[in-house]
Amino acid sequence: MTDLLKYAIELVAVLLLALGIKGLSKVRSARGANQLAALAMGLAVFGLLLNYLGTSGISIAAWTWIIAGTLVGGVLGVITAQRVPMTSMPETVALFNGCGGMSSLLVALAAALYPAVLEAAGPVAVVSIVVSVFVGAITFTGSIVAMAKLQGWLSTPDWMQSRARHAVNIALAVGSLVGAVEMLRNADSSTGLWLVVVASGLLGIGVTLPIGGADMPVVISLLNSYSGVAAAAAGFVVGSQLLIVAGAMVGAAGLILTQVMCNGMNRSLVSVLFGGALGATAATGGGGGEYTNITSCSVEECALTLEAAERVVIVPGYGLAVAQAQHTLREVTRVLESAGIDVSYAIHPVAGRMPGHMNVLLAEADVPYEQLQEMDQINPEFPATDVVLVLGANDVVNPQAKSDPNSPLYGMPVLDVQDARTVFVVKRGMSAGYSGIKNDLFELANTSMLFGDAKKVLGDLLVELKDLGLGKK
Report d(CA 443, CA 49) in Å as an integer: 63
Beta bridge partners of 346: 373
Are the C-beta atoms of 287 and 438 separated by less than 8 Å? Answer: yes
- The residues annotated as belonging to the active site are 395
Which has the higher per-residue pLDDT, 57 or 368? 368
Nearest C-alpha neighbor of 361 from the set 150, 225, 353: 353
| 291 and 443 Cβ atoms separated by less than 8 Å | yes
Residue positions counted in the chain? 473
For residue 374, report the phi and psi dihedrals to the nearest 5 degrees. -75, 165
- Predicted confidence at residue 214, as pLDDT, reads 64
3-state secondary structure (DSSP) of residue 389: strand
From residue 199, give the alpha-carbon distance in Å to each of 12, 231, 261.
39, 20, 29
Residue type, 444: L
The string of DSSP codes covering 125-138 is HHHHHHHHHHHHHH
Say if residues 348 and 342 touch (Cβ distance below 8 Å). Answer: no
> How much of the chain exceeds pLDDT 70, in percent?
90
Amino acid at the residue 407:
S
256 and 133 Cβ atoms separated by less than 8 Å: no
Rounded to two decimals, the pTM is: 0.78
Of residues 424, 407, 259, 237, the one with CA closest to residue 332? 424
- The chain-wide mean pLDDT, for the chain, equals 85
pLDDT tens track for 67-78:
888 889 889 888
339 or 57, higher pLDDT: 339
Q: How far is CA 290 from CA 394, 402, 442, 451, in A?
A: 16, 20, 11, 17
Tens of pLDDT, residue by residue over 66-106, are 888 888 988 988 888 888 876 777 888 889 899 999 999 99
Q: Which distant-in-sequence residues (6+ apart) come within 8 Å of 352 by Cβ? A: 90, 217, 317, 318, 321, 358, 361
More confident position, 471 or 232: 232
Query: What digits encode the pLDDT tens for the residues 284-296?
Result: 445 556 788 899 9
Which residues, in sequence order, are bridge partners of residue 449? Answer: 296, 425
More confident residue, 280 or 208: 208
Give dist(CA 2, CA 9) in Å, integer.
11
Question: Do 256 and 228 contact (CB within 8 A), yes or no?
Answer: no
